[in-house]
Amino acid sequence: MKKYVKPDGKAGKVQCCEWLDVMSDLGIIVVDKNGIIIFYNTTASVFDKVDKETAIGKHYTDLYCDKDGGCIKAVFDTGKPVYDMQNEWTSFYNQKFTSLDSAYPVWENGEIVSVVATTKYPSYVKSLFRKAIDSRQIMISENKENSNGTRYTFNNIIGEDLSLKVAVKQARKAASSLSPVLLEGETGTGKEIFAQSIHNASECSSKPFIAINCAAIPENLLEGMLFGTTKGAFTNAENSPGLFETAKGGTFFLDEINSMPLNLQAKLLRVIQEKKVRRIGSNVEHSIECRFISSTNKPPVECIKNNTLRDDLYYRLSVISIRIPPLRERIGDIRIFAEYFADKFAEVYLNKKVELSQTFLEALDIYNWPGNVRELEHMMESIVVMLEPGETITFDNLPIHIKHLYKEHSQQQMLNSIRSVNEMVNDCAEECLLKDTLLKTQREVILSALASNNWNISRSARAIGISRTNLQYRMKRMKIENPNKK
């Protein structure tokens, strides 16, 4: 049975598949180019409480009293499909409904001859809302309602690579103590997600989580923000506690601490050692109580060597040290992230899932992702934003630099394959030459032994060191015959 809808000009009806009339979730109507209903399925009839005979032949605006004409009018106006448009409308019998409607044009000879519209009715919409509410409740529960200033827990860490699982296991263990933790990871690997997860799994999870990016704040502002100020210490200075004081039993996260000026690192070392802080312009010390988590975006040993991290501060902060692997070391996780971000952004921008082609995924695997997960996330958002509903993400959607890299990689693979074939041919030629040489040498040895022993088979075999039967077999194979026998 054919799976299309075809207008029939004579009868003003529609020839269609039986399944259109019995679909359980969707109401389906078809209107001709004048907006007259020519098909109306059972689901639509049941929910609208309108007989098919009453509906067919009426203009769709008579049946659905919607002021702006809804998605059907939008299709006639633009010629493009409409997906999941939320509508509030009044039925033929003055009942009010909310539904999710989609509509698709049917073209013939360059003009729209009919429009097929589908409706998801209140019961279906309610189930969607329920799912959305349930998802939100789960998110709130996992993130402790963000009351401590965090968004992430260990449940938000995505990936199956063994190196990542090792890092997560270490972080979970670190959460059970209040010792300082140093996270080593390149920009975009998720250091703050780890820091927040450790905080939320620790005994101080109900206390504040305060994060500061040491690379993002100028030196002249950073000291006042961290240590606090005293009125009169400098122009416009006021009595103000620093962020260290406001941590109040929580966690203080110093992101990319290797970007902090060395003179501030020296003052920070004293804060960590003494658990006391002195505001700028004051001699009074204030006690602080917080757990320190810090991070570097380069290996700490390299930072110390380059004089961007004090070694004494490093030893204080790295009681527990955790390395978060870059994305290029977790090849298997690249596809997991790509699919996760595709679903995440498709839900926001398209209200439906999208498919990813195999070539697209293969191209992601050969790129080294210098910006790590953050770079992949931003790329996927950019791609999904530009998609049309129902469109598959393919190789063509990739940024040009990744496409070029993939093509170069493919060409290199082809060259490598050609080289391998050539090497095999050469090896085969060398092997054949060697085999030829060995056969010739073998023949000469046998002929020499036979001649020396007057063609006596037994003595010749003993001289060569093989059995009489073996010698006879080789003589037959090489077509060696006694010239004295006629």
CATH number of the domain encompassing residue 454: 1.10.10
Name the band, by pLDDT with cuts 50, 70 and 90, for residue 465: confident
CA 161 to chain centre: 13
Name the band, by pLDDT with cuts 50, 70 and 90, for residue 320: very high
Which DSSP string corresponds to 433-454? HHHHHHHHHHHHHHHHHHHHTT
Taking phi first (over 0 means left), then psi (-120 to 50 degrees means alpha), and beta for anything else, what does residue 145 get?
left
Tens of pLDDT, residue by residue over 76-130, are 888 888 776 766 667 666 666 667 778 888 888 888 888 888 887 655 444 544 4
| Residue 475 pLDDT exceeds 50 | yes
Residues 387 and 418 in one domain: no
User: Shortest CA distance to 257 belongs to which of 196, 200, 319, 313?
Assistant: 313
| Residue 254 pLDDT exceeds 80 | yes
Average pLDDT of the residues of the chain: 81
User: How many C-beta atoms lie closer than 10 Å to residue 345's C-beta?
Assistant: 19
- More confident of the two residues 395 and 471: 395
Residues 217 and 305 in one domain: yes
Element (H, E) at 140: helix 122-142
- Asked, for residue 142, whether it belongs to a domain, the answer is no
Supply the Cα-derived Rg of the chain in whole angstroms. Answer: 39
What CA–CA distance (Å, rounded) separates 325 from 314?
A: 20
- Asked, for residue 144, whether it belongs to a domain, the answer is no
- Asked, for residue 104, whether it belongs to a domain, the answer is yes
Confidence at residue 430, expressed as pLDDT on a 0 to 100 scale = 63
- More confident of the two residues 314 and 438: 314
Domain C-terminal end among 363, 382, 398: 398
Residues 370 and 421 in one domain: no
- More confident of the two residues 246 and 452: 246
Residues 320 and 338 in one domain: no
Residues 354 and 219 in one domain: no
Confidence at residue 328, expressed as pLDDT on a 0 to 100 scale = 94
| Residue 14 pLDDT exceeds 70 | no
- Asked, for residue 482, whether it belongs to a domain, the answer is no
| Residue 418 pLDDT exceeds 80 | no
Name the band, by pLDDT with cuts 50, 70 and 90, for residue 251: very high
Domain C-terminal end among 398, 415, 441: 398
| Residue 143 pLDDT exceeds 50 | no
Name the band, by pLDDT with cuts 50, 70 and 90, for residue 146: low
Residues 423 and 334 in one domain: no
8 Å CB contact between 354 and 346: yes
| Residue 214 pLDDT exceeds 50 | yes
**Chain position carrying tokens 């290797």:** 258
CATH number of the domain enclosing 264: 3.40.50.300
Q: Which domain holds residue 20?
A: 6-121
- Asked, for residue 140, whether it belongs to a domain, the answer is no
Q: Among the ranges 99-103, 110-114, 218-222, 266-270, which has the highest mean pLDDT value?
A: 266-270
CATH number of the domain enclosing 362: 1.10.8.60
Residues 357 and 430 in one domain: no
Confidence at residue 174, expressed as pLDDT on a 0 to 100 scale = 97
Query: To the nearest 5 percent, what fractions of the chain are helix, strand and coil?
Result: 50, 20, 30
Least confident of 417-421, 442-446, 454-458: 417-421
Confidence at residue 133, expressed as pLDDT on a 0 to 100 scale = 39
- Name the percent of the chain lying above pLDDT 90: 38
Name the band, by pLDDT with cuts 50, 70 and 90, for residue 478: confident
| Residue 434 pLDDT exceeds 70 | no
Residues 219 and 355 in one domain: no
- More confident of the two residues 432 and 472: 472
Residues 169 and 240 in one domain: yes
Q: Any residues with CB less than 8 A from the CB of 384 and at least 6 apart, and which?
A: 341, 342, 345, 346, 349, 350, 354, 393
Q: Among the ranges 103-112, 204-213, 469-478, which has the highest mean pLDDT value?
A: 204-213
User: Shortest CA distance to 379 belongs to which of 338, 331, 326?
Assistant: 338
Confidence at residue 8, expressed as pLDDT on a 0 to 100 scale = 43
- Asked, for residue 1, whether it belongs to a domain, the answer is no
Domain C-terminal end among 299, 325, 351: 325
- More confident of the two residues 96 and 191: 191
- Asked, for residue 131, whether it belongs to a domain, the answer is no
- Asked, for residue 149, whether it belongs to a domain, the answer is no
| Residue 1 pLDDT exceeds 80 | no
- More confident of the two residues 263 and 466: 263
Residues 368 and 415 in one domain: no
Residues 60 and 15 in one domain: yes
Q: How many domains does the chain have?
A: 4
Tens of pLDDT, residue by residue over 39-90, are 888 877 777 778 888 888 988 888 776 546 678 888 888 888 877 676 666 7
Give the residue-averaged pLDDT of 262-273: 92
Residues 382 and 312 in one domain: no
- Name the percent of the chain lying above pLDDT 70: 79
Confidence at residue 415, expressed as pLDDT on a 0 to 100 scale = 60
CA atoms within 13 A on the CB side of 393: 28
CATH number of the domain enclosing 10: 3.30.450.20
- More confident of the two residues 223 and 357: 357
